[in-house]
Amino acid sequence: MQRILVTGAAGQIGSELTPALRERHGSTNVLASDLRVPAAGSHLSSGPFETLDVRDRSRLQDIVSDHRIDTIYHLAAILSATGEANPQLAWDVNIAGLVNVLEIARAGGVRHVFCPSSIAVFGPETPRDPAPQLTVLRPSTIYGLTKVTGELLGDYYVQRYGLDVRGLRYPGIISSETPPGGGTTDYAVDIFYQAIQTGRYTCFVRQDTVLPMMYMPDCIRATLALMDADTSRLTRHCDYNIAGLSFSAAQLAGEIAKHIRGFVCTYEPDFRQAIADSWPQSLDDRHARADWDWRPSFDLSSMTADMIQRLRPRLTAKRA
Ligand code: NAD
Ligand code: AKB
């Protein structure tokens, strides 16, 4: 049985990946951690939790030793929009945190590390539709810089030290349980909350902005499938492109309007437009499909219907 540590577990992905890991491995074998303490009754209350700043190597080492951790899902990070507001913080958390995880793993005990990458590794010089697996990686955000560095560092620890490090280039993740934490793709989640609560949304990117996205159930499935995959089948380690769905902001608004009569979306692009414009519209994920049988299961229509079905009762009850 694996003994797993999840860093950044209180975030958008961790709050759903942690319960999925607990379901498979047993609650007591999956230790959640984050800088911030999750609210009582949150998704993380089904098992153990420790506060942890991933920049604190000695605390991370103590946690790994005390809990006999052999696998780390390293999710703690600063995302693109917050990163642009505080580039030094993004570098410290994303790079120092990852180096701490990799160094502690290399020193012994931890055998497997999952570290997500992002479509933010791509930049304006990357082919946009689709972005190939192997291509120009010259991002324009500090977040993207840290993600390219993270992919290369992970691959280095595989080659140099034989550590099992794996990662996916997640598209923008859409989910109903925990709001996203300071990214550029957040509009694709915010829009659902505002549409249900007020019938209106002011979108911070233009209506013709197309980005690669993925619904959370596909994100969790892809993560577990990559970590389950037989090493001998993997032709890549820390940088698998994975595609879910691609749509423009206007297409998403139109799909939501099919469920929420009278929904009105207006567009007031801010600084995040430039970030979105530097990312591709779709991804070529042929390596993920060939190596570990990746196939997404949600399209725009099924994702939208599921989001609204989950959020509507919760948000309506809150208003009443
Ligand atoms: P999030 O912002 O929702 O969660 C990140 C968590 O990290 C937060 O709970 C935060 O409190 C924690 N954190 C921040 N600084 C920390 C520190 N110093 N020590 C410990 N914890 C700290 O992010 P997420 O969306 O859950 O992303 C998880 C991972 O997936 C990140 O590596 C991110 O880059 C990657 N990713 C996410 C998306 C997406 O759309 N959600 C897309 C591509 C890649
Ligand atoms: C962001 O927008 O910063 C994240 C990402 C795509 O990495 N959602």
- Cβ–ligand 2 contact at 205 (below 6 Å): no
Interatomic CA distance for residues 131 and 247, integer angstroms: 15
Quote the CA–CA distance of 256 and 301 in Å, as a whole number.
Answer: 9
How many of the other CB atoms lie within 10 Å of CB of 39? 10
Closest ligand 1 atom to Cα of 13: 26
The helix (H) or strand (E) run that includes residue 112 is strand 112-114
**Tokens read off for 319:** 């208003």
> Binning pLDDT at 50, 70 and 90, where does residue 319 land?
low
316: exposed, middle or buried (Cβ count in 10 Å: 0-12, 13-18, 19+): exposed
- Give CA–CA dist 183/77, Å, rounded: 11
Nearest ligand 2 atom, CA 143: 3
Q: What is the pLDDT of residues 260-306, one digit of tens each?
A: 999 999 999 999 999 999 999 999 999 999 999 999 999 999 999 99
SS3 assignment, position 97? helix
How many CA atoms, within 13 angstroms, populate the side-chain half-sphere of residue 84?
17
Q: Would you tell me how many other CB atoms lie within 10 Å of the CB of residue 251?
A: 16
Ligand 2 site, residue 146, Cβ cutoff 6 A: no
Residues forming the active site: 143
The residue to which tokens 């009569």 are assigned: 261
Indicate the domain borders of the chain.
Answer: 4-171+215-241, 173-214+245-283+297-319
Options 3.40.50, 3.30.2390, 3.90.25, 2.30.30; CATH for 173-214+245-283+297-319 is 3.90.25
Residues with CB under 6 A from ligand 1: 7-8, 10-14, 34-36, 52-55, 75-77, 79, 93, 97, 116, 118, 170, 172-173, 180-183, 185
pLDDT for the residue numbered 320: 61
Q: How far apart are CA 253 and CA 61, in angstroms?
A: 46
pTM (two decimals): 0.98
Nearest to 123 by CA among 96, 150, 143, 99: 143
Angle between helices 216-228 and 14-25 (to 10 degrees): 50
Do the first three CATH levels of 4-171+215-241 and 173-214+245-283+297-319 match, i.e. the same topology? no
Q: Tokens 């809150």 appear where?
A: 318
pLDDT digits (tens, 9 = 90+) for 12-70: 999 999 999 999 999 999 999 999 999 888 989 999 999 999 999 999 999 999 999 99
Task: Give the pLDDT confidence of 107-147 residue by residue, as tens digits.
Answer: 988 999 999 999 999 999 999 999 999 999 999 999 999 99
Q: Locate the ligand 2 atom nearest the alpha carbon of residue 279 and give its number.
A: 6
Write down the pLDDT at residue 291.
98
Is 4-171+215-241 in CATH node 3.40.50.720?
A: yes
Number of Cβ within a 10 Å radius of residue 107: 11
